[in-house]
A and B are shown apart, each in its own frame.
Chain A
Amino acid sequence: MKNSSRMNTLLVCVFIVLVTVLIAETLMVKVQTTHLRKEPKFYASTIAMLKAGEVVEKISAANGWYQVRTTTGIVGWLHSSAVQTGKFDLAAMDKPLTTKATADEIALAGKGFNKKVEENYKSKHSEANFAGVDRMLKIKVSQSQLLKFLKDGKLGIYGGRP
Protein backbone atom coordinates (compact mmCIF):
# COMPACT_ATOMS: atom_id res chain seq x y z
CA MET A 1 0.00 0.00 0.00
CA LYS A 2 2.84 2.32 1.00
CA ASN A 3 4.71 1.36 -2.16
CA SER A 4 1.65 2.06 -4.24
CA SER A 5 1.29 5.55 -2.74
CA ARG A 6 4.97 6.30 -3.37
CA MET A 7 4.65 5.10 -6.93
CA ASN A 8 1.63 7.38 -7.45
CA THR A 9 3.47 10.39 -6.04
CA LEU A 10 6.48 9.68 -8.23
CA LEU A 11 4.37 9.33 -11.35
CA VAL A 12 2.45 12.54 -10.59
CA CYS A 13 5.77 14.38 -10.20
CA VAL A 14 7.10 13.01 -13.50
CA PHE A 15 3.84 13.97 -15.19
CA ILE A 16 3.95 17.54 -13.82
CA VAL A 17 7.60 18.00 -14.84
CA LEU A 18 6.86 16.75 -18.36
CA VAL A 19 3.83 19.02 -18.70
CA THR A 20 5.80 22.02 -17.41
CA VAL A 21 8.73 21.44 -19.76
CA LEU A 22 6.57 20.84 -22.81
CA ILE A 23 3.89 23.46 -22.23
CA ALA A 24 5.91 26.37 -20.75
CA GLU A 25 6.17 29.27 -23.21
CA THR A 26 9.55 30.87 -23.46
CA LEU A 27 10.72 34.29 -24.60
CA MET A 28 14.13 35.58 -25.67
CA VAL A 29 15.42 39.11 -24.97
CA LYS A 30 16.08 40.83 -28.33
CA VAL A 31 17.35 44.22 -27.18
CA GLN A 32 20.85 44.97 -25.83
CA THR A 33 19.64 45.26 -22.24
CA THR A 34 16.24 45.51 -20.63
CA HIS A 35 14.78 46.06 -17.19
CA LEU A 36 12.89 43.31 -15.42
CA ARG A 37 10.31 45.35 -13.54
CA LYS A 38 8.36 44.75 -10.38
CA GLU A 39 5.06 45.70 -12.02
CA PRO A 40 3.85 45.87 -15.65
CA LYS A 41 4.68 49.55 -16.21
CA PHE A 42 7.71 51.69 -16.96
CA TYR A 43 7.26 53.57 -13.71
CA ALA A 44 7.87 50.41 -11.70
CA SER A 45 11.21 49.72 -10.05
CA THR A 46 13.82 47.49 -11.68
CA ILE A 47 14.50 44.15 -10.02
CA ALA A 48 17.04 42.79 -12.52
CA MET A 49 18.71 43.63 -15.81
CA LEU A 50 18.55 41.14 -18.69
CA LYS A 51 20.74 41.00 -21.78
CA ALA A 52 20.14 40.11 -25.44
CA GLY A 53 19.82 36.34 -25.91
CA GLU A 54 18.66 35.56 -22.36
CA VAL A 55 15.69 33.19 -22.28
CA VAL A 56 12.89 33.51 -19.74
CA GLU A 57 9.76 31.54 -19.01
CA LYS A 58 6.47 33.30 -19.70
CA ILE A 59 4.00 33.13 -16.82
CA SER A 60 1.25 35.52 -17.98
CA ALA A 61 0.54 38.55 -20.17
CA ALA A 62 -1.19 41.88 -19.52
CA ASN A 63 -1.47 45.08 -21.61
CA GLY A 64 1.67 44.58 -23.68
CA TRP A 65 3.71 43.20 -20.78
CA TYR A 66 4.81 39.66 -19.95
CA GLN A 67 5.21 38.32 -16.46
CA VAL A 68 8.26 36.07 -16.64
CA ARG A 69 10.56 33.88 -14.57
CA THR A 70 14.31 34.13 -15.18
CA THR A 71 16.73 31.22 -15.13
CA THR A 72 17.63 32.21 -11.58
CA GLY A 73 13.98 32.13 -10.52
CA ILE A 74 13.35 35.87 -10.33
CA VAL A 75 9.79 36.77 -11.28
CA GLY A 76 9.06 40.15 -12.85
CA TRP A 77 7.65 41.97 -15.90
CA LEU A 78 9.17 42.62 -19.34
CA HIS A 79 7.67 44.80 -22.07
CA SER A 80 6.65 42.79 -25.13
CA SER A 81 8.77 44.98 -27.44
CA ALA A 82 11.92 43.76 -25.63
CA VAL A 83 11.41 40.07 -26.33
CA GLN A 84 10.70 37.69 -29.14
CA THR A 85 8.42 34.75 -28.80
CA GLY A 86 9.38 31.33 -30.06
CA LYS A 87 10.38 27.87 -29.09
CA PHE A 88 13.47 28.10 -26.96
CA ASP A 89 14.96 25.24 -25.02
CA LEU A 90 13.81 25.71 -21.46
CA ALA A 91 15.98 22.84 -20.28
CA ALA A 92 19.06 24.66 -21.53
CA MET A 93 18.16 28.01 -20.01
CA ASP A 94 21.23 28.09 -17.76
CA LYS A 95 23.59 27.07 -20.54
CA PRO A 96 25.42 29.34 -22.98
CA LEU A 97 23.38 30.99 -25.72
CA THR A 98 24.67 28.68 -28.45
CA THR A 99 23.01 25.69 -26.83
CA LYS A 100 19.65 27.31 -26.27
CA ALA A 101 19.04 29.08 -29.57
CA THR A 102 17.25 27.40 -32.41
CA ALA A 103 19.15 25.86 -35.29
CA ASP A 104 18.13 28.71 -37.57
CA GLU A 105 19.21 31.26 -35.01
CA ILE A 106 22.55 29.55 -34.62
CA ALA A 107 22.89 29.60 -38.38
CA LEU A 108 22.34 33.35 -38.42
CA ALA A 109 23.96 34.31 -35.11
CA GLY A 110 26.54 37.00 -35.64
CA LYS A 111 25.63 37.21 -39.31
CA GLY A 112 23.94 39.94 -41.29
CA PHE A 113 24.58 43.66 -40.96
CA ASN A 114 26.76 43.70 -37.89
CA LYS A 115 29.88 45.23 -36.36
CA LYS A 116 32.12 43.47 -38.86
CA VAL A 117 30.18 44.89 -41.82
CA GLU A 118 30.20 48.34 -40.17
CA GLU A 119 33.99 48.19 -39.73
CA ASN A 120 34.46 47.20 -43.36
CA TYR A 121 32.10 50.00 -44.45
CA LYS A 122 33.86 52.49 -42.17
CA SER A 123 37.26 51.68 -43.68
CA LYS A 124 35.94 52.81 -47.09
CA HIS A 125 33.84 55.77 -45.94
CA SER A 126 35.88 58.09 -43.78
CA GLU A 127 33.24 60.79 -44.28
CA ALA A 128 30.69 58.84 -42.19
CA ASN A 129 30.74 60.34 -38.70
CA PHE A 130 30.53 57.27 -36.46
CA ALA A 131 32.28 59.13 -33.62
CA GLY A 132 29.30 61.50 -33.57
CA VAL A 133 26.92 58.53 -33.39
CA ASP A 134 28.86 57.07 -30.47
CA ARG A 135 28.61 60.41 -28.65
CA MET A 136 24.85 60.46 -29.35
CA LEU A 137 24.51 57.01 -27.80
CA LYS A 138 26.06 58.30 -24.58
CA ILE A 139 23.15 60.68 -23.97
CA LYS A 140 21.13 59.10 -21.16
CA VAL A 141 17.99 60.02 -19.25
CA SER A 142 17.86 58.19 -15.94
CA GLN A 143 14.69 56.64 -14.58
CA SER A 144 14.58 59.19 -11.75
CA GLN A 145 15.03 62.14 -14.18
CA LEU A 146 12.21 60.82 -16.35
CA LEU A 147 9.87 60.26 -13.41
CA LYS A 148 10.55 63.76 -12.06
CA PHE A 149 9.90 65.21 -15.51
CA LEU A 150 6.59 63.34 -15.81
CA LYS A 151 5.56 64.23 -12.27
CA ASP A 152 6.45 67.93 -12.54
CA GLY A 153 4.73 68.17 -15.91
CA LYS A 154 1.62 66.28 -14.79
CA LEU A 155 2.18 63.71 -17.49
CA GLY A 156 1.53 59.98 -17.74
CA ILE A 157 0.09 58.53 -14.56
CA TYR A 158 0.74 61.87 -12.83
CA GLY A 159 -1.67 63.50 -15.28
CA GLY A 160 -4.31 60.85 -14.87
CA ARG A 161 -3.25 58.95 -18.00
CA PRO A 162 -3.16 55.13 -17.90
Chain B
Amino acid sequence: MRTQRKFQIWACALLIFGLMSCATLEQQIDAISPVKVSDAEAAVKVGKTLRDSFADINEEEEYYIGRAVSALILSKYSVYNNKALTQYINTVGQAVVVHSDRPEIYAGYHFLILDTNEVNALAAPGGFVFITKGLLKRCKDEEVIAAILAHEVGHVAAKHGLQSIKKSRLVDAFTIIGQEATQRYGPQELAQLTSIFEDVLADIVENLIERGYDRKYEYEADKLGVKVSANTGFNPTGLVDFLQTMVDDYAGQSGKGWFKTHPSAKDRMDRVQKQIQGLKSIPEVQSVRTSRFKGAIQSLK
Protein backbone atom coordinates (compact mmCIF):
# COMPACT_ATOMS: atom_id res chain seq x y z
CA MET B 1 0.00 0.00 0.00
CA ARG B 2 2.85 2.31 1.00
CA THR B 3 4.76 1.33 -2.13
CA GLN B 4 1.76 2.08 -4.23
CA ARG B 5 1.42 5.52 -2.61
CA LYS B 6 5.08 6.30 -3.21
CA PHE B 7 4.69 5.23 -6.80
CA GLN B 8 1.70 7.53 -7.15
CA ILE B 9 3.66 10.47 -5.68
CA TRP B 10 6.55 9.86 -8.07
CA ALA B 11 4.19 9.43 -11.00
CA CYS B 12 2.53 12.73 -10.10
CA ALA B 13 5.91 14.48 -9.83
CA LEU B 14 6.91 13.17 -13.24
CA LEU B 15 3.56 14.14 -14.70
CA ILE B 16 3.80 17.70 -13.33
CA PHE B 17 7.38 17.96 -14.54
CA GLY B 18 6.32 16.59 -17.90
CA LEU B 19 3.51 19.11 -18.21
CA MET B 20 5.80 21.95 -17.15
CA SER B 21 8.29 20.84 -19.76
CA CYS B 22 5.70 20.64 -22.51
CA ALA B 23 6.15 24.24 -23.58
CA THR B 24 9.93 23.86 -23.60
CA LEU B 25 9.70 20.56 -25.39
CA GLU B 26 7.33 21.98 -27.94
CA GLN B 27 9.77 24.79 -28.64
CA GLN B 28 12.68 22.38 -28.79
CA ILE B 29 10.87 19.94 -31.04
CA ASP B 30 9.92 22.83 -33.26
CA ALA B 31 13.54 23.89 -33.29
CA ILE B 32 15.12 20.50 -33.88
CA SER B 33 12.63 18.84 -36.16
CA PRO B 34 13.66 18.43 -39.78
CA VAL B 35 12.53 21.11 -42.22
CA LYS B 36 8.79 20.96 -42.55
CA VAL B 37 8.33 23.78 -44.99
CA SER B 38 7.06 22.27 -48.14
CA ASP B 39 6.47 25.22 -50.38
CA ALA B 40 8.37 28.29 -51.44
CA GLU B 41 5.98 30.64 -49.67
CA ALA B 42 6.63 29.09 -46.29
CA ALA B 43 10.34 29.02 -46.96
CA VAL B 44 10.37 32.70 -47.89
CA LYS B 45 8.69 33.35 -44.55
CA VAL B 46 11.43 31.41 -42.78
CA GLY B 47 14.14 33.38 -44.58
CA LYS B 48 12.51 36.75 -44.00
CA THR B 49 11.66 36.30 -40.37
CA LEU B 50 15.03 34.81 -39.58
CA ARG B 51 17.36 37.49 -40.90
CA ASP B 52 16.99 41.08 -41.90
CA SER B 53 20.10 43.05 -40.93
CA PHE B 54 23.90 43.03 -41.06
CA ALA B 55 23.92 41.46 -37.58
CA ASP B 56 22.28 38.37 -39.07
CA ILE B 57 25.14 37.72 -41.48
CA ASN B 58 26.70 34.55 -40.13
CA GLU B 59 30.42 33.93 -39.54
CA GLU B 60 30.89 31.92 -42.72
CA GLU B 61 29.16 34.53 -44.88
CA GLU B 62 31.23 37.26 -43.25
CA TYR B 63 34.32 35.25 -44.16
CA TYR B 64 33.30 34.90 -47.82
CA ILE B 65 32.43 38.61 -48.04
CA GLY B 66 35.80 39.44 -46.45
CA ARG B 67 37.67 37.14 -48.85
CA ALA B 68 36.17 38.88 -51.87
CA VAL B 69 36.72 42.40 -50.46
CA SER B 70 40.35 41.42 -49.78
CA ALA B 71 40.70 39.99 -53.29
CA LEU B 72 39.64 43.40 -54.64
CA ILE B 73 42.06 45.23 -52.32
CA LEU B 74 44.83 42.94 -53.56
CA SER B 75 43.90 43.73 -57.15
CA LYS B 76 44.57 47.43 -56.42
CA TYR B 77 47.67 47.05 -54.27
CA SER B 78 50.72 44.78 -54.50
CA VAL B 79 51.84 42.82 -51.47
CA TYR B 80 55.11 43.86 -49.83
CA ASN B 81 57.02 40.61 -49.82
CA ASN B 82 59.05 40.61 -46.63
CA LYS B 83 58.49 37.34 -44.80
CA ALA B 84 60.17 38.31 -41.51
CA LEU B 85 58.41 41.67 -41.24
CA THR B 86 55.05 40.14 -42.22
CA GLN B 87 55.51 37.50 -39.53
CA TYR B 88 56.37 40.21 -36.98
CA ILE B 89 53.27 42.24 -37.88
CA ASN B 90 51.12 39.11 -37.60
CA THR B 91 52.56 38.32 -34.17
CA VAL B 92 51.85 41.85 -32.89
CA GLY B 93 48.38 41.50 -34.45
CA GLN B 94 47.67 38.17 -32.74
CA ALA B 95 48.86 39.59 -29.41
CA VAL B 96 46.16 42.27 -29.57
CA VAL B 97 43.58 39.87 -31.05
CA VAL B 98 43.67 37.55 -28.02
CA HIS B 99 43.05 40.56 -25.77
CA SER B 100 40.18 41.90 -27.92
CA ASP B 101 36.42 41.52 -27.53
CA ARG B 102 36.18 39.17 -30.51
CA PRO B 103 39.29 36.99 -30.50
CA GLU B 104 37.69 34.12 -32.41
CA ILE B 105 36.49 34.66 -35.94
CA TYR B 106 35.61 32.14 -38.66
CA ALA B 107 39.11 31.65 -40.14
CA GLY B 108 41.10 33.78 -37.68
CA TYR B 109 42.74 37.17 -38.19
CA HIS B 110 45.46 37.70 -40.79
CA PHE B 111 47.65 40.73 -41.44
CA LEU B 112 49.39 41.76 -44.65
CA ILE B 113 51.68 44.64 -45.68
CA LEU B 114 50.79 46.51 -48.89
CA ASP B 115 53.63 47.74 -51.07
CA THR B 116 52.75 51.41 -51.28
CA ASN B 117 54.02 54.58 -49.69
CA GLU B 118 50.46 55.76 -49.29
CA VAL B 119 49.67 55.97 -45.57
CA ASN B 120 46.74 53.66 -44.86
CA ALA B 121 45.37 50.67 -43.00
CA LEU B 122 42.29 48.69 -44.03
CA ALA B 123 40.23 46.01 -42.33
CA ALA B 124 37.94 43.80 -44.38
CA PRO B 125 35.20 41.75 -42.71
CA GLY B 126 36.25 38.28 -41.65
CA GLY B 127 39.55 39.37 -40.08
CA PHE B 128 41.62 40.43 -43.13
CA VAL B 129 43.77 43.39 -42.07
CA PHE B 130 46.05 45.39 -44.40
CA ILE B 131 48.67 47.95 -43.41
CA THR B 132 50.73 49.92 -45.90
CA LYS B 133 54.48 50.30 -46.04
CA GLY B 134 53.93 54.08 -45.88
CA LEU B 135 52.11 53.77 -42.57
CA LEU B 136 54.73 51.41 -41.13
CA LYS B 137 57.43 53.97 -41.90
CA ARG B 138 55.60 56.43 -39.65
CA CYS B 139 55.54 54.09 -36.66
CA LYS B 140 58.23 54.87 -34.11
CA ASP B 141 57.80 51.76 -31.98
CA GLU B 142 55.83 48.56 -31.30
CA GLU B 143 53.30 50.46 -29.17
CA VAL B 144 52.15 52.46 -32.20
CA ILE B 145 51.87 49.42 -34.51
CA ALA B 146 49.92 47.60 -31.80
CA ALA B 147 47.48 50.50 -31.32
CA ILE B 148 46.90 50.78 -35.09
CA LEU B 149 46.36 47.03 -35.48
CA ALA B 150 44.05 47.06 -32.45
CA HIS B 151 42.09 49.89 -34.14
CA GLU B 152 41.72 47.73 -37.28
CA VAL B 153 40.80 44.63 -35.26
CA GLY B 154 38.19 46.87 -33.59
CA HIS B 155 36.65 47.62 -37.01
CA VAL B 156 36.36 43.87 -37.65
CA ALA B 157 35.11 43.02 -34.16
CA ALA B 158 32.41 45.71 -34.33
CA LYS B 159 31.48 44.62 -37.90
CA HIS B 160 31.88 48.12 -39.32
CA GLY B 161 32.49 46.72 -42.81
CA LEU B 162 29.25 44.76 -42.74
CA GLN B 163 27.41 47.86 -41.55
CA SER B 164 28.40 49.55 -44.81
CA ILE B 165 26.12 47.20 -46.73
CA LYS B 166 22.87 48.81 -47.81
CA LYS B 167 19.98 47.16 -46.00
CA SER B 168 17.95 46.66 -49.18
CA ARG B 169 20.67 44.34 -50.56
CA LEU B 170 20.55 42.18 -47.46
CA VAL B 171 16.76 41.99 -47.55
CA ASP B 172 16.97 40.86 -51.21
CA ALA B 173 19.71 38.34 -50.44
CA PHE B 174 17.95 36.88 -47.40
CA THR B 175 14.74 36.56 -49.39
CA ILE B 176 16.48 34.56 -52.11
CA ILE B 177 18.27 32.44 -49.54
CA GLY B 178 14.95 31.83 -47.79
CA GLN B 179 13.15 31.00 -51.02
CA GLU B 180 15.71 28.39 -51.86
CA ALA B 181 15.83 26.94 -48.39
CA THR B 182 14.28 23.66 -49.34
CA GLN B 183 16.10 23.12 -52.59
CA ARG B 184 19.44 23.67 -54.25
CA TYR B 185 20.21 26.97 -55.91
CA GLY B 186 18.95 27.10 -59.45
CA PRO B 187 21.14 28.94 -61.99
CA GLN B 188 18.80 31.93 -61.84
CA GLU B 189 18.93 32.22 -58.05
CA LEU B 190 22.71 31.80 -58.04
CA ALA B 191 23.02 34.57 -60.63
CA GLN B 192 20.74 36.84 -58.57
CA LEU B 193 22.63 36.15 -55.37
CA THR B 194 26.00 36.71 -57.10
CA SER B 195 24.72 40.02 -58.43
CA ILE B 196 23.75 41.09 -54.88
CA PHE B 197 27.16 39.83 -53.69
CA GLU B 198 28.81 42.20 -56.22
CA ASP B 199 26.78 45.12 -54.86
CA VAL B 200 27.61 44.14 -51.27
CA LEU B 201 31.33 44.18 -52.12
CA ALA B 202 30.98 47.54 -53.88
CA ASP B 203 29.33 49.04 -50.76
CA ILE B 204 32.17 47.87 -48.52
CA VAL B 205 35.06 48.67 -50.89
CA GLU B 206 33.67 52.15 -51.47
CA ASN B 207 33.72 52.82 -47.73
CA LEU B 208 37.09 51.20 -47.17
CA ILE B 209 39.02 52.78 -50.02
CA GLU B 210 37.09 55.73 -51.34
CA ARG B 211 34.81 57.34 -48.79
CA GLY B 212 35.94 56.00 -45.44
CA TYR B 213 33.77 54.80 -42.61
CA ASP B 214 31.31 57.00 -40.86
CA ARG B 215 33.10 59.14 -38.24
CA LYS B 216 31.35 57.39 -35.39
CA TYR B 217 32.88 54.06 -36.49
CA GLU B 218 36.37 55.59 -36.60
CA TYR B 219 35.93 57.01 -33.11
CA GLU B 220 34.65 53.66 -31.90
CA ALA B 221 37.64 51.86 -33.48
CA ASP B 222 39.99 54.40 -31.83
CA LYS B 223 38.38 53.65 -28.47
CA LEU B 224 38.81 49.92 -29.04
CA GLY B 225 42.38 50.48 -30.23
CA VAL B 226 43.31 52.26 -26.99
CA LYS B 227 41.41 49.80 -24.79
CA VAL B 228 42.71 46.63 -26.43
CA SER B 229 46.32 47.75 -26.83
CA ALA B 230 46.37 48.84 -23.17
CA ASN B 231 44.75 45.53 -22.15
CA THR B 232 47.52 43.73 -24.00
CA GLY B 233 50.12 45.72 -22.07
CA PHE B 234 51.12 48.27 -24.72
CA ASN B 235 51.37 51.96 -23.96
CA PRO B 236 48.55 53.53 -26.01
CA THR B 237 50.09 57.00 -25.90
CA GLY B 238 51.92 56.01 -29.08
CA LEU B 239 48.66 56.41 -30.94
CA VAL B 240 48.56 60.08 -29.95
CA ASP B 241 52.12 60.55 -31.25
CA PHE B 242 51.17 58.84 -34.50
CA LEU B 243 48.09 61.01 -34.93
CA GLN B 244 50.26 64.06 -34.28
CA THR B 245 52.43 63.13 -37.28
CA MET B 246 49.22 62.91 -39.33
CA VAL B 247 48.14 66.37 -38.13
CA ASP B 248 51.55 67.79 -39.08
CA ASP B 249 51.43 66.25 -42.54
CA TYR B 250 47.77 66.75 -43.26
CA ALA B 251 48.29 69.66 -45.66
CA GLY B 252 50.79 67.83 -47.83
CA GLN B 253 49.03 64.47 -47.97
CA SER B 254 45.40 65.56 -48.13
CA GLY B 255 43.26 63.55 -50.52
CA LYS B 256 45.19 60.27 -50.33
CA GLY B 257 44.68 57.02 -48.41
CA TRP B 258 44.15 57.56 -44.69
CA PHE B 259 43.84 61.36 -45.13
CA LYS B 260 40.91 60.85 -47.48
CA THR B 261 39.10 58.11 -45.57
CA HIS B 262 39.56 59.15 -41.94
CA PRO B 263 38.19 62.05 -39.89
CA SER B 264 40.45 64.91 -38.79
CA ALA B 265 43.54 63.57 -37.01
CA LYS B 266 43.44 66.52 -34.59
CA ASP B 267 39.91 65.71 -33.48
CA ARG B 268 40.80 62.01 -33.05
CA MET B 269 43.97 62.89 -31.17
CA ASP B 270 42.04 64.94 -28.62
CA ARG B 271 39.53 62.14 -28.07
CA VAL B 272 42.26 59.50 -27.73
CA GLN B 273 44.18 61.67 -25.29
CA LYS B 274 41.08 62.06 -23.11
CA GLN B 275 40.45 58.32 -23.14
CA ILE B 276 44.04 57.55 -22.13
CA GLN B 277 43.80 60.00 -19.24
CA GLY B 278 40.78 58.06 -18.01
CA LEU B 279 42.58 54.68 -17.97
CA LYS B 280 43.10 53.11 -14.56
CA SER B 281 46.74 52.43 -15.35
CA ILE B 282 48.90 53.09 -18.37
CA PRO B 283 51.42 50.36 -19.21
CA GLU B 284 55.03 51.45 -19.53
CA VAL B 285 56.94 51.29 -22.80
CA GLN B 286 59.46 48.44 -22.55
CA SER B 287 62.82 48.87 -24.27
CA VAL B 288 62.82 45.19 -25.27
CA ARG B 289 59.76 45.85 -27.44
CA THR B 290 61.26 48.93 -29.04
CA SER B 291 64.46 46.98 -29.81
CA ARG B 292 62.67 44.12 -31.51
CA PHE B 293 60.51 46.60 -33.44
CA LYS B 294 63.65 48.33 -34.74
CA GLY B 295 65.13 44.96 -35.65
CA ALA B 296 62.03 43.97 -37.59
CA ILE B 297 61.50 47.28 -39.32
CA GLN B 298 65.10 47.91 -40.42
CA SER B 299 64.59 45.82 -43.55
CA LEU B 300 61.72 48.08 -44.64
CA LYS B 301 62.57 49.90 -47.87
Interface residues of A (CB under 8 A from B): 3-4, 7-8, 11, 14-15, 18-19, 22, 30-32, 34, 42, 52, 79, 81-82, 86-89, 92, 99-104, 106-108, 111-118, 120-121, 124-125, 127-130, 132-133, 135-137, 139-141, 145-146, 149-150, 152-156, 158-162
B107 and A149 form a contact (CB under 8 A): no
Q: Which residues of B contact A89 (CB under 8 A)?
A: 28, 32
Contact sample, A vs B, 16 pairs, CB 8 Å cutoff: A15-B14, A32-B107, A104-B50, A106-B34, A107-B178, A107-B182, A111-B185, A112-B58, A112-B173, A113-B61, A117-B194, A128-B68, A129-B75, A132-B79, A152-B292, A154-B233
Q: Given A129-B72, A141-B91, A155-B95, 20 other A-B contacts at CB below 8 A?
A: A18-B18, A19-B17, A31-B59, A32-B106, A87-B27, A113-B173, A113-B193, A114-B61, A116-B190, A128-B68, A136-B112, A139-B87, A146-B98, A153-B288, A154-B286, A156-B232, A159-B233, A160-B233, A161-B99, A161-B283
Q: Which residues of B contact A150 (CB under 8 A)?
A: 95, 233
User: Please, which residue of chain A has its CB at the minimum distance from the CB of B67?
Assistant: A133
List the one stretch of B2-10, B247-255, B256-264, B269-277 in contact with chain A. Answer: B2-10
* Shortest distance from the beta carbon of B29 to any chain A beta carbon, whole Å: 9
B105 and A136 form a contact (CB under 8 A): no
Q: Does B180 sit at the interface, judged by CB under 8 A?
A: yes
Q: Which residues of B contact A104 (CB under 8 A)?
A: 31, 46, 50
Known contacts being A103-B34, A117-B193, is A137 close to B107, with CB within 8 Å? yes
Q: Which residues of A contact B108 (CB under 8 A)?
A: 32
Give complex CA distance A104, B7 in Å.
41
Q: Which residues of B contact A32 (CB under 8 A)?
A: 106-108
Q: Does B207 sit at the interface, judged by CB under 8 A?
A: no
Q: Which residues of A contact B61 (CB under 8 A)?
A: 112-114
Q: Which residues of B contact A139 (CB under 8 A)?
A: 86-87, 90, 110-112
A34 and B289 form a contact (CB under 8 A): no
Query: Which residues of chain B from 65 to 85 have any CB-CB distance to chain A below 8 Å in the complex?
Result: 65, 67-68, 70-72, 74-75, 79
B67 and A130 form a contact (CB under 8 A): yes
A121 and B94 form a contact (CB under 8 A): no
Sorted nearest first, the 10 A-B pairs with minimum C-beta distance are: A159-B233, A107-B181, A129-B74, A128-B71, A82-B104, A155-B233, A132-B74, A4-B3, A81-B104, A89-B32
Q: Does B198 sit at the interface, judged by CB under 8 A?
A: yes
Q: Does B19 sit at the interface, judged by CB under 8 A?
A: no
User: Please, which residue of chain A has its CB at the minimum distance from the CB of B62?
Assistant: A113
Q: Does B300 sit at the interface, judged by CB under 8 A?
A: no
* Shortest distance from the beta carbon of B65 to any chain A beta carbon, whole Å: 6
Task: Find B60's partner among A87, A112, A141 (CB 8 Å cutoff).
Answer: A112
Q: Which residues of B contact A30 (CB under 8 A)?
A: 58-59, 106
Q: Which residues of B contact A113 (CB under 8 A)?
A: 57, 61, 64-65, 173, 193, 197, 200
* Shortest distance from the beta carbon of B14 to any chain A beta carbon, whole Å: 7
* Shortest distance from the beta carbon of B198 to any chain A beta carbon, whole Å: 7
* Shortest distance from the beta carbon of A54 to any chain B beta carbon, whole Å: 14
List the one stretch of B35-43, B219-227, B238-246 in contact with chain A. Answer: B35-43
Q: Which residues of B contact A121 (CB under 8 A)?
A: 68, 194, 197-198
B64 and A114 form a contact (CB under 8 A): yes
* Shortest distance from the beta carbon of A120 to any chain B beta carbon, whole Å: 4
Give complex CA distance A150, B13 in Å.
56
Known contacts being A155-B233, A159-B233, is A31 close to B21, with CB within 8 Å? no
| Most chain A CB atoms below 10 A, which of B33, B50, B110 | B110
Give complex CA distance A117, B35 in Å.
23
Q: Which residues of B contact A82 (CB under 8 A)?
A: 104
Q: Which residues of B contact A154 (CB under 8 A)?
A: 233, 286, 288-289
B75 and A127 form a contact (CB under 8 A): yes
